[in-house]
Structure 1
Amino acid sequence: TASKTYQLTSAVDGPADDPRLFARMSVKGLTAEQLYDSLALATGFETGDAPDPNGAVNGTVGSGGARAEFLAKFSNVADKRTETQTSILQALSLMNGRITADAVSLSRSKALAGVLDSPFMDDHQKLDALYLCALSRPMRASEAERMVK
């Protein structure tokens, strides 16, 4: 979605055209599976859902586990990916759910443990690495001034 081509095809200038004319590409949300996999990969979340030898993924809806719990909350009931509805329950689940809790836990987060246990990094470098992990940007000078004392 960050490519110039995608942005041009989904950009709307002026009043919306008749959607049947396909003047622009509709913006599509991620499926529940794609969102879960993206969050798990970005946070280093250990799912415990081992791949099935036949190619299926364990932890689907109904079998328990973090993946099943997430998919139950984020499954799209609409027929089209362009018409998904989000809820307050989904937002709260993202903020307070198992993936987020593990991502910020010192005992369960690979990223936090890796940064904190790095003997070759000073405090400023460790904080900068955490900013990159959490915010996808380096620490600003004003933030560094407050954080590194």
Structure 2
Amino acid sequence: MGVSAFLLPSSLNIAIGQRLVRRLCDQCKKEEKEVPLRIRDIIEKELAKIPEATKTEYAPILEKGIKIWHAPGCKFCAGKGTKGRIAIYEVMFMNSQIEKIIIEGPTESKIVEETVVQGMITMKQDGFLKVLAGLISVEEAMEAVED
């Protein structure tokens, strides 16, 4: 962006990344009877990266185990299976450690590493948490955060 590294930390308090994804229709969504092993592994590996201090906030969702949902469509959603949108996001708060990384010459991996240490939930983790809560489909979450 052409901004000097030493100016950025003093100007930035918070950075938010988001994607809007289709929300499953509450009227016709159904829990899948079985979760494919590949999907289960992907979700478990990603959620295992959530810092322990942050996991307590999401305990009600995590305790229910790995469940995925689909919505076949109904009259309320015009047969689409989705109704409206919901955001999946990640939020980074500026602090002295991140400020130091930025001034020293940031790399994405250094910033991500520090924000995760601080307890940040990544966009991918937020998407999978919303999958487990029955708000979005696993396909929608994976498509939104493709690497």
Structure with larger RCO (C-alpha < 8 A, sep 6+): 2
Larger radius of gyration between Structure 1 and Structure 2 = 1
Q: Which has the higher helix share?
A: 1
User: Structure 2-normalised TM-score?
Assistant: 0.34
